Structure 1
Amino acid sequence: MLKEIRIWTAERPLTVSAVLLLMALVYFVAPVVYNDPTNLFGHGRQEQGAEDFATSLWPELCLAGVLLAIVVLIGWVRSTCLTTRLHIGPIFLAVPYILFVIFIASSPALLALSQDREIILTPAEWQVVWVACLAAFLVGFFEELLFRGVLLHGLRARMAAVPAVLVAAVIFGSFHFVNWVNGQPLDATVAQVSGAAGGGVFYGAMVLWTGSIWPSVMLHGLWDSGVTISQTLAAKSPVVSDQVPDTDANASAGLSLWEALLSPEMIYGLLLLFAWWLWSGRRKKAKTA
């Protein structure tokens, strides 16, 4: 029975990817059934900070576990780049991104220090921050396995790698419209969608360069953690909140669509993707020469 399942899924990668994506969509839209109708479709609030993120720890753990179990069951562990050989060298391409995340996470504290002020969190508040960061890495694992693992594998069965990364990024960004359905204001959601698409381009490029999904998992988790820390520190900052730089579509409803589309992660991701396309093309020519 298991052998037949794996043969069937191996022959229909795009169909299987679409089914798993639809299952995830149904799960995230399901709260519409039992939530207050007056808070749906942009009439609720935007979740921000460690307290909101920390509450998702156990649901995200379950989601990640279920998706991983399905991937193992259908025999896609290698196809989703979970166990493929990791190319160490290209990991250094993520250094500018990591530095950018560190800046985002520390910007409220740096702004406060520049005015001789400081942000103080209690031990209990720091504990919530660390739980939220753990939840953020679980989110990173689930979303990367679903979009840069399952979906990218399905798309690459029908198209070249670069278009597949771009399509997966657009779908990943659009997936965040479920937050609007569940109540998040539309302007914040649109910015979040475009920002997530930019992140998807960067994460997809890293999968192509490294040959593994794990760098993108860690970078995605790092980004969500950095944004969560920034939001939490900004909320506790004695400095006027409008002086704190916008961090991400997750962090600011004021981030315009064009600002999100021209975000550093989008631009850097496109540069990496273009560089990979040139490199892979030359590599193929060298092999056929």
Structure 2
Amino acid sequence: MRITPRVWIGLAIYVGYVLVIFVVSKLSGVAYTDIGKSADFTWRGAVLDLAVGAVLLAITTWLLGWWKPALFERKRSQHTWPIFVPALMLVVAVVNLSSTDWSKFDASFLLSLLALGVAVGFCEELLSRGLLLTAFRSRLSEVWVWLLTSALFGGMHIINAALGAPLGITLGQVVIAAMSGTCFYIVRRVTGSLIWAMALHGIWDVSVFAVGFAPLGGAWASVLGPVIGILAVAVVYWVIKGTDEKPVASAGATESAR
């Protein structure tokens, strides 16, 4: 690592990312509630800001030299059975996808959804359970690392209200996102890699937007999403137990990061 992880560095990256997403989204002129209603709205209202965020996060991670601790655990969780909760999340996502009328999507719309899935999985996971997690592990116990990264992940969604989403619905989204963040944390701890959490996150969001636009049946995510979140919180103790992932500063880490 070029720069020794510090809590303040993670928080600065978080605030900067949220501001960039908000400003680019605002400039796009697309309300949050219109995202997923057409290819144009999806490209301009979601993919554009995430693409900018992805480039900035990648550059930041490279400059810090945090790719390895951000993407990989040194030691996986001793308990693997909690992975059943993320597996349930994947099943619900697949049900959502199978309950979508894909005849209503043209090629551009499908491509925009695919780009959205890749970008949101990369950005939000690298930020929350990658860079923030690495920074917090420099000083905090793992239970606080899990709790704060999940809470901040949920909290970043509050900007949706300023982008046109109803406040009540947004507050509910913040809570559910925080709990689903626990699900992605479990994936990282059990598999040892953030990449699988990125993939699950992307598939989940694509399934929610797709079934919301062209449902063939009920939107299972809206019903089972909170249940999955509660289950994740209920079992997360077993993947936290015994965790010792404190980042080790490299010889080249600079004192200026203190």
Please, what TM-score do these two structures have when normalized by structure 1? 0.70
Say which SS state the counterpart of residue 103 (structure 2) adopts. Answer: coil
Correspondent of 1:233 among 208, 211, 214: 214
Partner of 1:49: 36
Partner of 1:199: 180
Q: How does 1:137-176 map to 2 (within 5 A)?
A: 137-176=118-157
Partner of 2:218: 244
Do the aligned partners of 2:21 and 2:49 also contact (CA within 8 Å) in 1?
Answer: no
**Offset at 1:57?**
2.8
Identity %: 20
Distance, in Å, in 1 between the alignment partners of 2:49 and 2:21 is 11
| Pairwise CA RMSD | 3.2
Partner of 2:103: 121
Do the aligned partners of 2:10 and 2:135 also contact (CA within 8 Å) in 1?
Answer: yes
Say which SS state the counterpart of residue 106 (structure 2) adopts. Answer: helix
Partner of 2:66: 76
Unaligned runs of at least 5 residues, structure 2: 244-258
Distance, in Å, in 2 between the alignment partners of 1:134 and 1:142 is 12
Q: How does 1:1-289 map to 2 (within 5 A)?
A: 6=2, 9-10=3-4, 12-30=5-23, 46-49=33-36, 51=38, 52-55=41-44, 56-82=46-72, 90=80, 93=84, 94-107=86-99, 109=100, 119=101, 121=103, 125-234=106-215, 244-245=218-219, 247-248=221-222, 263-278=226-241, 280=242
Do the aligned partners of 2:160 and 2:170 also contact (CA within 8 Å) in 1?
Answer: yes
Hey, which bits of structure 1, 4+ residues long, moved more than 4 A? 31-36, 82-87, 89-92
Do the aligned partners of 1:162 and 1:273 also contact (CA within 8 Å) in 2?
Answer: no
Q: Higher RCO, 1 or 2 (CA under 8 Å, sep at least 6)?
A: 2
**Offset at 1:210?**
2.0
Do the aligned partners of 1:50 and 1:129 also contact (CA within 8 Å) in 2?
Answer: no
Distance, in Å, in 1 between the alignment partners of 2:181 and 2:218 is 25
The one-letter amino acid paired with 2:221 is: T
Say which SS state the counterpart of residue 49 (structure 1) adopts. Answer: coil
Distance, in Å, in 1 between the alignment partners of 2:28 and 2:49 is 17
Partner of 1:113: none
Measured at CA, do residues 180 and 274 of structure 1 come closer, stay the same or move farther in structure 2, by a change above 3 Å? same
Say which SS state the counterpart of residue 34 (structure 2) adopts. Answer: coil
**Offset at 1:16?**
1.0
Do the aligned partners of 2:121 and 2:199 also contact (CA within 8 Å) in 1?
Answer: yes
Do the aligned partners of 1:202 and 1:272 also contact (CA within 8 Å) in 2?
Answer: no
Distance, in Å, in 1 between the alignment partners of 2:203 and 2:180 is 12
Do the aligned partners of 1:21 and 1:146 also contact (CA within 8 Å) in 2?
Answer: yes
Do the aligned partners of 1:50 and 1:132 also contact (CA within 8 Å) in 2?
Answer: no
**Equivalences, count:** 237
Do the aligned partners of 1:133 and 1:228 also contact (CA within 8 Å) in 2?
Answer: no
Distance, in Å, in 2 between the alignment partners of 1:230 and 1:268 is 23
The one-letter amino acid paired with 1:77 is: W
Distance, in Å, in 1 between the alignment partners of 2:155 and 2:194 is 21
Say which SS state the counterpart of residue 152 (structure 1) adopts. Answer: helix
**Offset at 1:58?**
4.0
Do the aligned partners of 1:105 and 1:229 also contact (CA within 8 Å) in 2?
Answer: yes
Distance, in Å, in 2 between the alignment partners of 1:195 and 1:153 is 23
Unaligned runs of at least 5 residues, structure 1: 110-118, 238-242, 249-254, 282-289
The one-letter amino acid paired with 1:178 is: I
The one-letter amino acid paired with 2:218 is: V
Distance, in Å, in 2 between the alignment partners of 1:173 and 1:120 is 30
**Offset at 1:82?**
4.9
Distance, in Å, in 2 between the alignment partners of 1:270 and 1:73 is 34
Larger Rg over CA atoms: 1
